[in-house]
Amino acid sequence: MLIRIGSRGSRLALTQAEQAAAALRRDGVEVALVPMTTAGDRDRTSPFGQIGERGVFVKEIEEALLAGRIDVAVHSAKDMTSTDTAGLVVGAFLERDDPRDALVGADAIRPGMRIGTASVRRRAQLLALEPTLSIEPMRGNIDTRLRKRQERGLDAIVLAACGLDRLGLQDEIGLRLDPEQMLPEAAQGALALQVRAGEEELVTSVDDAETRRRVEPERQCVAIVGAGCLAPVAAHHDGTTLHALIADEDGAWIERRSGDDPVALAEALAGLAAAR
């Protein structure tokens, strides 16, 4: 049996697709990787709001899956929309890697630093931690952002720790930010294997139950709040409790709540935002 795996074509995306392929091959499955380009890959300079909301890195891959050109799509789960696309489901989550954000170029956040990130979630939390920071927009793959930090003379950039780990670039990390400082994106650190509804058996053998137990409430919480790439919202399950956050982009207003019920948590955050 041959399974065609669709993935973005960046070095990190292909490394992640190969992780999924290796897991499936252990079950004796033959796998072929199919690199693809998404809207987020083609436009590497515009803010996410100009090219679409959350999902700009997955839409074309989902379309290929629905059309039958591939059998499995591998995504960084944090890049997916928080609700499943009609006709598609996440058949498996691989075991989650480090969900934390990482500070690259410095070992601490200090007053007046110039820090690069394209994420409004990271921007809001950084400014809440230290209002004197200068947050500068920066997009591109990991290698591009590492290069741009040097070229632009930035004090630091913030990236997902898991991406650096997967590429063997962990030595670039100056500080792994504790979720109490920087609440991660919902599902950060997890790889999602998406399939057509009814074809879950293609990947269920590699599904990690503990990762699913944590990631699904995170995604549900963010979906209910109605967040996309432009909304400073975060959710992270530490294994015991779900933590969630909503904020202004400048970090002047930020609210955190914790609990067991993602619906109640999301409704509380949405209520706080509506009452402002």
Tell whether the model's pLDDT for residue 12 goes beyond 60.
yes
Taking the whole predicted model, whether its pTM rises above 0.85 is answered as yes
Distance, CA of 182 to CA of 122 (rounded, Å)? 7
Rounded to an integer, the average pLDDT of 67-81 is 94
Q: At what angle do helices 142-151 and 11-25 cross, to 10 degrees?
A: 150
Assigned token pair, 108: 């601490």
Query: Residue range 21-34: average pLDDT?
Result: 94
Q: What is the pLDDT of residues 214-260, one digit of tens each?
A: 999 999 999 988 744 456 899 999 999 999 999 999 999 999 999 99
Record the tokens describing residue 115, joined without a space. 């820090």
Name residue 70's beta-bridge partners.
none
Cβ proximity of 74 and 20 under 8 Å: yes
Beta bridge partners of 259: 242
**With pLDDT > 70 as the criterion, what percentage of the chain qualifies?**
91
Q: What is the DSSP letter of 206?
A: G
Query: Torsion angle, CA of 209/210/212/217, rounded to 10 degrees?
Result: 140
The fold for domain 101-177 equals: D-Maltodextrin-Binding Protein; domain 2 (3.40.190)
Per-residue pLDDT reduced to its tens digit, 98-156:
999 999 999 999 999 999 999 999 999 999 999 999 999 998 999 999 999 999 999 99
Helix (H) or strand (E) holding 245: strand 242-247
CA angle centred on 62, ends 60 and 68, rounded to 5°:
105
Task: Determine the 3-state secondary structure of 101 from DSSP.
Answer: strand
Mean pLDDT (whole number) for 193-200: 98
pLDDT band at 40 (very low <50, low <70, confident <90, very high): low
CA–CA distance, 73 with 193 (Å, rounded to integer): 6
- At residue 2, the 3 state secondary structure works out as strand
d(CA 270, CA 159): 27
Catalytic residue positions, numbered: 78-79, 121-122, 139, 145, 229
**Host H or E run for residue 210:** helix 209-225
CA distances from 146 to 2, 113, 115, 143, 171 (A): 37, 17, 12, 5, 12
Domain boundaries, the chain: 101-177
